Structures are given as structure tokens and as C-alpha cells.
Structure 1
């Protein structure tokens, strides 16, 4: 497949004088840089993410990424307002001119936030154009403006290089040998690892939308969007706290003959179950991993009688198909009583459903839907759910 780089026009440069801009420049460069002028009057900070930090200079931002998984690296990125000088930095610190014009993502989780921030017109590549569900992104794909990056490790290096992105958001694996960003840096691609899936709290995951805001100087919009998410999440959490009992909740699915693919008790999905008024059957597991393979016997001993199964294998039309996929699914009480749910509403095939590319910035919706399943008297199920589906 041949990919030609899309045409590019530089941002217009504007003269701002000694006063500086009244708002961050999201479509302009600086024509008359002056030392000491604050070119980012609208700032942000990370309050819930366990992995991201940002500090501001007058015309630059330093973003630090400290993964929660034990890969042994701490990364820093220098974001410099275009039209201003690059400050001193370490030899291995990638420098990115902001606001960026051209983004490629190797992890579809950011696509919903991209739409909510009004930045879809800056997307030029995605890990798979076939599995996107965000309407505005789908329209851009149909116009031929988004290139398919699919390949090993959520993207192929050659198409990423061909599109010539200002930033490539690369999927961050807990296994260092699976990460592409070191090689991409060597090839001149400004790759930033995306690790929202390694956050410890659903709100920490949602706060990754602020990374997009930082790259495009849209901090004010990012702050407003995130503050609304937090307010709604805390509202639903307070309602769930009124529950008189906490039902035990099974999650994950049988993988092969003797293991269950699930997540640790400190993972963000376990926190979502807790905040929804449930008790995750592996809550005593102190791992934060988003992908944990547990011996089937251990999970069965803890979850066999759990009344609710919240989050199972997606893409199965009903419980009969779920059991056909692996007979071990039929051993659990929730399967027999019909209280099995998957986060796959709107599924159209291999990884294509709204939860995959829209749920990152909507933990409040995920929480509300979970509460409606665990505590219907407190929150009756809405007429239509956005992400959650009960298997008939």
C-alpha cells in the first residue's frame, strides 16, 4: 500500500506585542516572540491521572509520562509554541511544535475525545479505519482523509512515516519489547505513548483528553469538558453509595481450557465496579493490570455464585453463543440466571463498537449504566444504553 503525505500549509503567524494573547493560539504561530510574555494564558493540570504531569514556561510546556506498569522508563516531551525559540532540553527529549496540525493514532480510544474537542479535522491516520464508530471520524474516513495504519503493534512503521504526522499516539504496552516509540524516535517520528488503559481510576483515564488539549493549545476546552465529566461521575457515585448491599460481580471471560482473562483488583474497571456499588470478585488482588490471566479454578471459586457478570466476551449475540465459545462460561450462576452483560452495544465486527473508541472520555456514562444493572431501584435502566448490553 502506498501512502502519500497530505498537503500541509503552515499556521499563519500573528504579531501579539508585549501584551501577549488573550487566549491560547490554537490555529496560529507567533510572529514577534518576546521574552517573558505568557503565550499560554489558559493552562491545565492533571488531578486524577496517575501517569501524566505538565509544567508551563512562558512559551513551552513540559509533559512528563510515568507509567504505572513496571517498564522502567520515565518520558518527557517538550511542547513549544510555534514561532518561539526552543528552550534547553535533554538530548533524548522529543520537541513538538504546538498547536499540532497532523495527528495519527495507534490506539482508537482517543477518537471520541478528539471529536469532543473539535479536533477531528487534524486526524490523518488511525490504527484501523474499519473499526471506527465515531460519526465525525467515519465521515472523514469516507472522504479519504484518514489513512489506515494497521499492522504489528497497532500500526506499521512505514505508513506512519509516510503520513508525516506532527504526533503519533502509539499504544503503550506493559511489555517493553512490544512498544514502538523508541524505534519511531530514531526514525524522526514524534511518537507519544498512549497509556490511558493503565490508569488506576476511570477519571484518570478520561483525563488523557487533556493530552490532546495540550498538543493543540485547547486547554480551556479540555478543562471544561473534563470538569463536566468529573461532576457527573461524582453525582452517580453518590447515588450508588446509597445502596444497602453490594452484589458480588464477576468480570472477564474464559480464555482457553484453564484460564480467565480479566483484570486486577486495583485496575480502573475494578474501581468502576466499586463506585457503582458492586464488589468485584477479585477485589483482593492487588495488581493494577488491565490484562490478567488467572487460573480458572481461582476465578470460579470466587465468582461461581456472583449474581452479576459485568463485562464478558464481546461480539456474542446471546448466552448460548457465549457458552458455545467456551463451555466454562456456563459454569457460572450469572449465566444461568441471565444477568450477563457485555460492553459491546453497537458491535459490528472485530473490535468495532462504541465502547472501544468512545468510552475513554465517558466514564460517567459507564458508571450510570453499571449502577442501573447493579441497583435498579436507585437508577432504573434507561430506555437505551450507550455501551452496555445484556445477553439474552
Structure 2
């Protein structure tokens, strides 16, 4: 009898040991935890715009602007489809998961679904401009996915006929969501575009994973992104020379750039370069005049440009747009780093490939560190 009792105790100890959370990533990755006796947990590390709290029968998801701590917040309780758990706090909108049908408002959101091989869940999108994904094009052709109009001018009748489970929105953009709220479909803010770091933006793949029942896949995908990104970042950490880079073009008399606390500035830092506005405290857009940009970027080593040009973009084309461009050192010494959105799926897949973008930049700034690499998005203009 005593032997049997001891045996039961030992068995119980072994079972408890087997139920401890297991890391599915390397020691450098702290963002992936899996409870082998229950479900995979989502625990954002880099993303500042959402938090997840687990409770018996439901998950609480809190969303806010990652650039503003005091911004309006949004609260959702995710429950398993067909269940009605008790104890959900007041103020949380209940959403049954996994979500079966949804609408995406931005390319960034769409990139999350593509990365998770879940485009079949996307029943509506706002625009097909710069759409490269073959599966999404086929779904549009077959009517499995439809266009719902653009922000500020949605076709509510089309949306109601689709009857999606949720609509992912960008509440701080052009809007038009007041009319959508009247339909009664849950509107879920996806604020990945407001994150101030590349890994923070990419980590919103976990946010989508929560809603579509792909938490494990999201954790696994992000772990790969994170490990490769940090590996590349470490590779350039000790570079002796950090080139200076500026960004943007003049449009309508104004030069549109971003501040020194922005996503782009962080990306340049991680690639071993200094952004020309690195000391600017802003995280969002910055409007400057040409003279201000020239005074700070005339001697910069590189000039990053992303646009949509119909044809072969060149230094001559750039000079024709504004003769003053030729006065920049980056123009004179052919240091323009260019991406044409007509040819590259920049906004469609770049958000979930920060490690690829980082290696593109390292190839330009420090080519000796990645000698055999072929860029995917950015290339030095010829």
C-alpha cells in the first residue's frame, strides 16, 4: 500500500513537471511561451499597442495607441465559439473565436494574414492598388473576397451582405467608421502601423493569431523573424563608421519625413546608420521645407526613397522632378536607396519581413557584412 502511494506521488510530480511552460525559441527570444497542457499563450514583448490577459474560458485583449500612453483604449473578450463564460469584466466587447470571416482595411493587416497562411479568412479589402499576392487576386476573381470601397466612403450594403465576424480598422486614419458602427459588426483596431520599432510592428502577427485561432503559428513565425533580425542587428553593432541617411521627397512644396523616434529611424539605427533627424523627439510624420532638409542632409551619405513610378526610375528622372536634388551628396555620389511600389510588394509584405528590410539596408550601408546577399525591396539606384 505504501509503495503504491509513493508511486502515485512520483507520477503526479512527473505530470506536473511536464506541464510547465516550454520555450519554443532560442535563449535570445523571450516572446514565445507554450503551455503544453493547455493553449499557446500570446505575450507581446516589442509591440506596445496591445496586451493580453488570460482567464478561465476567455482572453482579455486591450488595445491602445502605442505612441500615446493616454490615448483612447479598446477592450475585447475573446471566447471560444459557442461558449458563454462567466466573469468577463464590464466594458469588454465579446467576440467568438476563431473568427471565420473578416475585413482588412490596410496592407499591413493583410500582410499578417498572408504570413499566417490565412488569407481565406479575409472576405473583404479596401483597395487592390499595389496588390501582388496571387492568392488574394484569385479570391477577388472568384468573388470569395470583395472590395468594400475606401476609407471615408465604404459600401455598407456590400459589407452587410458579407456579414463578417469582425472588421479590422485603423481608427486614427481617414475614418468613415461611424457609419460602420451602425451595422453592428465588431470593429477591432489594428494599430501595428503606429508601432515605433520594426519588431514591434511585426509582432502584431500575434494579435491576428489570437482572433483566428493561430496563436502557435503566430508565435513560431515571429520567433523566426525576431531571431534573424537580432542576429543581423548584432552583426552591425560594432561597425566603425555609421553613414548618415535621410528620407523622403518634396511634394507640393513640402518635404515629408518622420521623426527621430519613428519606426524608420530605428530601422536605420539597427542597420548601422544614423538618421538625419535622429535627435528629433517625434515618432510620427514631420513636415519640412526644402531649405531645412538641405541644411541637415546636404552631406548625408544615403537618401532613401519609396514611391510608385511608372517606368524606370533614375537619377535623371529624380533631377527632372526637382533640379535642386542634384545638390545633395547622396545624389552626386549615387547613394540613393530606392524601392518602387509598382514593382515590389512593399506595404503588402514588408511589415512582416523586417529582417529582410534590415538586410537590404545593411547591404547598402555595410556591404562587406552580407557579401552574398541579394536585396529584396531596396536597391541602390543606378
**Does the pair score TM above 0.5?**
yes
- The equivalent position to 2:277 in structure 1, one of 274, 278, 282, is 282
Tell me the distance in 2 between the aligned counterparts of 1:318 and 1:200.
31
Deviation of the 1:324 alpha carbon: 2.8
Tell me the distance in 1 between the aligned counterparts of 2:377 and 2:158.
31
Deviation by residue 1:241-277 (Cα, 9 ceiling, x = unmatched): 13111000011111222x2111111011110000000
Note closer, same or farther for the CA distance 1:39–1:322 as it changes in structure 2 (3 Å cut): farther
Q: More helix per residue: 1 or 2?
A: 2
Structure 2 counterpart SS, 1:359? helix
- Structure 1 position 336 matched with structure 2 position 328: no
- The equivalent position to 2:55 in structure 1, one of 42, 57, 60, is 57
Tell me the distance in 1 between the aligned counterparts of 2:123 and 2:200.
26
Tell me the distance in 2 between the aligned counterparts of 1:45 and 1:196.
15
- TM-score normalized by the length of structure 2: 0.83
Note closer, same or farther for the CA distance 1:150–1:183 as it changes in structure 2 (3 Å cut): closer
Note closer, same or farther for the CA distance 1:47–1:181 as it changes in structure 2 (3 Å cut): farther
Structure 1 counterpart SS, 2:368? coil
CA contact (8 A) 1:342 1:388 kept: yes
- Structure 1 position 185 matched with structure 2 position 175: no
- TM-score normalized by the length of structure 1: 0.81
Q: More strand per residue: 1 or 2?
A: 2
Deviation by residue 1:45-68 (Cα, 9 ceiling, x = unmatched): 111001111111222111111203
Tell me the distance in 1 between the aligned counterparts of 2:88 and 2:289.
47
- The equivalent position to 1:315 in structure 2, one of 299, 309, 327, is 309
Note closer, same or farther for the CA distance 1:55–1:181 as it changes in structure 2 (3 Å cut): farther
Deviation by residue 1:220-250 (Cα, 9 ceiling, x = unmatched): 1111100110000001001111311100001
Tell me the distance in 2 between the aligned counterparts of 1:373 and 1:279.
13
Aligned to 2:370: 379
RMSD: 2.4
Note closer, same or farther for the CA distance 1:101–1:328 as it changes in structure 2 (3 Å cut): farther
Tell me the distance in 1 between the aligned counterparts of 2:304 and 2:46.
24
Tell me the distance in 2 between the aligned counterparts of 1:237 and 1:274.
9
Moved over 6 A (4+): none
5 Å-filtered alignment, 1:147-162, equals 147-153=146-152, 155-162=154-161
5 Å-filtered alignment, 1:23-102, equals 41-70=39-68, 72-89=71-88, 93-102=92-101
Deviation by residue 1:138-196 (Cα, 9 ceiling, x = unmatched): 2322322110123234854443333211111112326xxx3344543343121112221
Tell me the distance in 2 between the aligned counterparts of 1:186 and 1:283.
43
Deviation of the 1:297 alpha carbon: 2.0
* Unpaired runs of at least 5, structure 2: 1-18, 20-35
- The equivalent position to 1:295 in structure 2, one of 286, 289, 293, is 289
Structure 2 counterpart SS, 1:343? strand
Aligned to 2:241: 245
Deviation by residue 1:343-370 (Cα, 9 ceiling, x = unmatched): 336x25xxxx411110111100010110
- Structure 1 position 261 matched with structure 2 position 251: no
CA contact (8 A) 2:78 2:97 kept: yes
Aligned to 1:221: 217
Aligned to 1:232: 228
Equivalenced residue count is 345
- Structure 1 position 370 matched with structure 2 position 361: yes
- Structure 1 position 388 matched with structure 2 position 381: no
Tell me the distance in 2 between the aligned counterparts of 1:90 and 1:161.
29
Deviation of the 1:294 alpha carbon: 1.9
Deviation of the 1:313 alpha carbon: 3.5
